[in-house]
A and B are shown apart, each in its own frame.
Chain A
């Protein structure tokens, strides 16, 4: 059974950094693309980043303006989201999701429960 467990959220001040983790189990980690998706309070879903199965291809939403970086550790079956220069508008629940396949051309088949990031002074 696929499990995705996010952690690392919390309350931080604007301009600071935070690193989220998504620990996975129940599938062969190196075979699947992984995503980060966020949801501001009371708002819709916004795709944030993807890392392909081989770890060599990574893409981020243009709206982030280079502040966020996705990465992974195969030995821990975990993906990360390094978030720098945080802004109030980055507040929300951050979900990790597993792609149906290894590349970026599949739906998001499994989702974690999310971790809440609050950016406030």
Chain B
């Protein structure tokens, strides 16, 4: 089975500081110079929202304080200059075929 694991499970960061969330896939999600890895943000009572696709491409309208990096099996979501509205649960997801596994989620709070 393909497993996607995030770390940490929860994170508290001060306003204006940097938040870093890691994502590891048990199998490579990279193929033909593409990384099939996305990041989503979910706020309470709302559906998920796509933040990052292809591991490092911001979705339309996403602020540039959100950035993604990594390749192969290890990826990182970085939020630079944390703002109050960034409080949410963040999920990574592989999409290089079924099953489209999500990580377990990382809850981000303000310290």
Give the interface residue-count category, chain B.
20 to 34
How many interface residues does chain A have, given as a range? 20 to 34
Please, how many angstroms separate the alpha-carbon atoms of A110 and B47 in the complex?
9
8 Å CB contact of A111 from B48, B89, B97, B99:
B48
Structural contact, A107 and B102, CB atoms closer than 8 A: no
**Are A45 and B102 interface neighbours, CB within 8 A?**
yes
Interfacial residues of chain A within 62-121, with CB under 8 A of chain B in the complex: 62, 95, 100, 104-114
Residues from chain B with a CB closer than 8 A to the CB of A114 are 47
Main secondary structure, interface of B, reads loop
Question: Can you list, as one digit per residue, whether each of B44-74 has a CB less than 8 Å from chain A (1) or not (0)?
Answer: 0001111001100001000000000000000
> Does residue A11 face the partner (Cβ distance < 8 Å to B)?
no
Contacts of A27 in B (CB 8 A): none
Chain B's closest residue to A111 (CB) is B47
Q: How far is the CB of B77 from chain A (nearest CB, A)?
A: 14
The reply to whether A107 and B49 contact each other, CB–CB distance below 8 Å, is no
Collect the chain A residues with CB atoms within 8 Å of residue B80's CB.
none
Contact (A59, B98) CB under 8 Å given A44-B104, A44-B105: yes
Given contacts A35-B100, A46-B102, A47-B101, contact A106 B95 (CB under 8 A): yes
> How far is it, in angstroms, between the C-alpha of A45 and the C-alpha of B102 when the chains are bound?
6
A37, A62, A107, A113 pick with most chain B CB within 10 angstroms = A107
A100 engages B53 (CB within 8 Å): yes
Q: How far is the CA of A26 from the CA of B2 in the complex (A)?
A: 34
Q: Contacts A37-B48, A108-B50, A110-B50 given; 5 further ones with Cβ under 8 A?
A: A45-B42, A47-B101, A61-B99, A106-B95, A108-B93
Q: Which residues of B approach A to under 8 Å, CB–CB? A: 36, 38, 40, 42, 47-50, 53-54, 59, 89, 91, 93, 95-105
Q: Name 22 interchain pairs, CB-CB below 8 A, sorted by A.
A: A35-B100, A44-B102, A44-B104, A45-B42, A45-B48, A45-B105, A47-B100, A47-B102, A104-B95, A104-B97, A105-B95, A105-B96, A105-B97, A107-B38, A107-B50, A107-B54, A107-B95, A108-B95, A110-B50, A111-B48, A112-B47, A114-B47
